[in-house]
Amino acid sequence: MLSIEGLSKRFGGFTAVNNVSFAVEPGEILGLIGPNGSGKSTIFNVLAGALVPDAGSIRFEGREIGGLAPYRIVNLGIGRTFQIPRPFHRLSLVENVVLSGFYGQGRPARARAFEAAERALALVGLPTDRAASVDGLGAAALKKLELAKALASGPKLLLADESLSGLDEHEMDQAADLLRRIRKDLGVTIVWVEHIMGILMRVVDRVMVLDHGEKIAEGLPAQVAADPRVIEVYLGTQAAAVRVAAAAARG
Amino acid sequence: MGIFDVYLLEALINGVLLGGVLALLSLGLNLVFGVIDVVWICYAELIMLGMYAMYFLSRVYHAPMVLAAAICIVTVGVLGVLLHVVVIAPLLGAAPINQLLATGGVLFFLQSAATILFGIEFKNLGVRLPVLKVAGMFISYARLLAFGAALIGMVLVYLFLRRTYTGTAIRAIAQDRQIMTLMGVDSRRIYVITSALGGGLAGLAACLLVLQYDVHPFVGLTFGPITFLICVLGGLGNFGGGFVAAFVFAEIISVGGLYLDLEWGYVFAFAFFIAMMFVRPQGLLARRS
């Protein structure tokens, strides 16, 4: 579905992503993990069109999308959420999502955009009445709104950026379930960047680990969690490794 | 009612009428700033060109007033798009000061071009609209008409912003430019539509102002600074704030001018502006963070 070959992105003298290649299969959930500054967000921003890659190719359904404008990438069927939700406070909840439904699908009929928005809101469990406001939504609801906005654009591939950060344990489980449901009910393929590893390891089919802009491991969660290089660069301590391996084994 | 109360009431009413036109003026500038993040320093010069368009259409080519107004609005709307495509769009990534200087350059370009093309004589439509006498007060029919048309123009823009997807996208982009483009919106398209809208509002303002003021190449200086100050007072890019600020300004000018000379009204208004910049630098309706 998505294949990345030799992707590099530099900021001045700093190489944020160095010659990274990977592929995403239709219908899978791929986890993307790594310590701070490992290049996860840069890869996301390049995939979504917010950054232009310096080298390498990005093919989505056989078509080169590297360097396309963000709106064209959304229109091709790649939706994204943001780590820090940035809703439009002066717009109603429904308006927030409808906009994405309208422009994300390349300006279809009003009714279709509205239906897409209502479906997305219902799926994530947010109110669909027109008067509902964005103000007063908690961290968990704002994360749901992010997902609803991305889903309303009718994506085939969803780029989920830290859908768990800022949530408590119960909310994290719910958010993880939601990602599973999005894949199951809508058939959406998901690439999920996350800092919190335990829950991610239970949900994803495969996981890829980045460090200093390079891919250091890729495979099934249990394999990756046991990889000594991953334990060294990402987890640091043996104790954490044991915890993650246990979490992966449970899932 | 004492004679003084009548004057005061008359001044208050004139203030409201002036406020409507000032609100219309500031809406166009605010819209462009809110969405594109660029201040059209030459905004009032677009109005000046619109006034000339009205003068030529109506006085020289004898077009009916309504047709002339429609052509004027469309023409200035197109000028707004041209301004965006030719001057603003290439500078969108540049430093804000460059954008400001570029539109400032357009201001002098338009003034000079108008001087060469139209001469420096004052020109007017040659239409004298009657003055209404109501309960001992004199209300200018031209001002009443301007107020009504400005209000209708603003309501139409409001409905457009509220009821259409394009309008909703414009409101959203005014709030968060970055996210909007990542949501699948082609921002260039929204910018062009906004520029057309901003120009159209300048065109409508031109139709209304030409009923009250003579047109000359430097007439923009009469409206430009005050429009800009109103937008700043209301909080640049804050449409509601600009609306309120326009009426506050207009009442200060109108009532201030009642007790002393007319010019004193402007002195009070600008003094009020400076004071407010210390008290509420983010604008009248700014949310406290």
How many helical (H) and strand (E) elements, i.e. helices and strands, does chain B have? 11, 2
For residue A149, the chain B residues in CB contact (below 8 A) are 183
A175 located within any domain: no
A148 located within any domain: yes
* pLDDT computed for residue A241 by the predictor: 59
For residue B179, the chain A residues in CB contact (below 8 A) are 82, 86, 88
For residues A139 and A231, state if they share a domain: no
Q: Are B41 and B100 in contact (CB under 8 A)?
A: yes
Specify the pTM: 0.80
SS3 labels along A115-160 = HHHHHHHHHHCCCCCCCCCCCCCCHHHHHHHHHHHHHHCCCCEEEE
Contact A153/B184, CB-based, under 8 Å? Answer: yes
Min Cα separation B35/chain A (Å)? 14
Q: What are phi and psi of B287, to 5 degrees?
A: -75, 135
Which residue range is the domain that position A145 belongs to? 87-154
How many alpha carbons lie under 13 Å from residue A164 in its C-beta half-sphere? Answer: 21
* pLDDT computed for residue A67 by the predictor: 87
pLDDT tens digits for A112-164?
A: 888 899 999 999 999 988 888 888 888 889 999 999 999 999 999 999 998 88
In chain A, the number of structural domains is 2
CATH code where residue A6 lies: 3.40.50.300
For residue B123, give every residue at least 6 positions away whose Cβ sits within 8 Å of its Cβ, in sequence order, or none. B52, B55, B59, B214, B215, B216
A46 located within any domain: yes
* pLDDT computed for residue B288 by the predictor: 44
Min Cα separation B197/chain A (Å)? 20
For residues A224 and A128, state if they share a domain: no
Q: Which residue of A has its CA nearest to B190?
A: A103
Q: Which helix (H) or strand (E) holds B80?
A: helix B65-82
For residue B172, the chain A residues in CB contact (below 8 A) are 88, 91, 95-96, 99
For residues A64 and A44, state if they share a domain: yes
CB nearest B183 (choices: A95, A99, A107): A99
How many alpha carbons lie under 13 Å from residue A152 in its C-beta half-sphere? Answer: 38
* pLDDT computed for residue B3 by the predictor: 63
pLDDT < 70 regions, chain A:
234-244, 250-251
Nearest to B88 by CA among B107, B108, B109, B103: B103
For residues A164 and A73, state if they share a domain: yes
For residues A193 and A71, state if they share a domain: yes
Q: How far is CA B190 from CA A48, A163, B166, in A?
A: 20, 30, 7
For residues A15 and A129, state if they share a domain: no
Which of B183, B188, B238 has the highest number of chain A CBs within 10 A, making it the mutation to test binding with A?
B183
For residues A59 and A111, state if they share a domain: no
* pLDDT computed for residue A54 by the predictor: 94
Average pLDDT over chain B reads: 89
pLDDT tens digits for B70-90?
A: 999 999 999 999 999 999 999
For residues A41 and A102, state if they share a domain: no
Contact B171/A91, CB-based, under 8 Å? Answer: yes
Beta sheet of A206-211, edge-to-edge order:
A78-80, A157-161, A189-193, A29-33, A206-211, A214-219
> What is the rounded distance in angstroms from the CA atom of residue A31 to the CA atom of residue A15?
22
What confidence tier does B289 reach under pLDDT thresholds 50, 70, 90? Answer: very low
Contact B184/A91, CB-based, under 8 Å? Answer: no
CB nearest B184 (choices: A95, A98, A103): A103
A97 located within any domain: yes
What confidence tier does B286 reach under pLDDT thresholds 50, 70, 90? Answer: low
Contact B179/A82, CB-based, under 8 Å? Answer: yes
Selected residue with higher pLDDT from B288 and B144: B144
CB neighbours (10 Å) of residue B65? 14
Burial group, residue A15, by CB count within 10 angstroms (0-12, 13-18, 19+): middle
Lowest mean pLDDT segment, chosen from A226-240, B8-22, B205-219: A226-240
pLDDT over 70 (residue B1): no
pLDDT over 80 (residue B285): no
For residue B64, give every residue at least 6 positions away whose Cβ sits within 8 Å of its Cβ, in sequence order, or none. none
> What is the rounded distance in angstroms from the CA atom of residue A48 to the CA atom of residue A68?
9
Contact B185/A71, CB-based, under 8 Å? Answer: yes
For residue B182, the chain A residues in CB contact (below 8 A) are 48-50, 70, 74, 80, 82
pLDDT tens digits for B93-127?
A: 888 899 989 999 999 999 999 999 999 899 988 87
For residues A31 and A49, state if they share a domain: yes
Q: Which helix (H) or strand (E) holds B94?
A: none
* pLDDT computed for residue A234 by the predictor: 65
- CATH top-level class of B3-119+127-279: mainly alpha
For residues A38 and A100, state if they share a domain: no
A174 located within any domain: no
Beta pairing, strands A55-60 & A63-64: antiparallel
What confidence tier does B191 reach under pLDDT thresholds 50, 70, 90? Answer: very high
Min Cα separation A70/chain B (Å)? 5
> What is the rounded distance in angstroms from the CA atom of residue B148 to the CA atom of residue B195?
24
Query: Three-state DSSP class for B217?
Result: coil
For residues A66 and A161, state if they share a domain: yes
CB nearest B182 (choices: A70, A98, A102): A70
- Per DSSP, the residues of chain A read -EEEEEEEEEETTEEEEEEEEEEE-TT-EEEEE-STTSSHHHHHHHHTTSS--SEEEEEETTEE-TT--HHHHHHHTEEE--SS----TTS-HHHHHHHHHHHHTTS--HHHHHHHHHHHHHHHT----TT--STT--HHHHHHHHHHHHHHT--SEEEEE-SSTT--HHHHHHHHHHHHHHHHHH--EEEEE-S-HHHHHHH-SEEEEEETTEEEEEE-HHHHHH-HHHIIIII-SHHHHHHHHHHHHH-
Min Cα separation B165/chain A (Å)? 7
Token pair 């300006």 in the structure block, residue:
A107
For residues A149 and A161, state if they share a domain: no
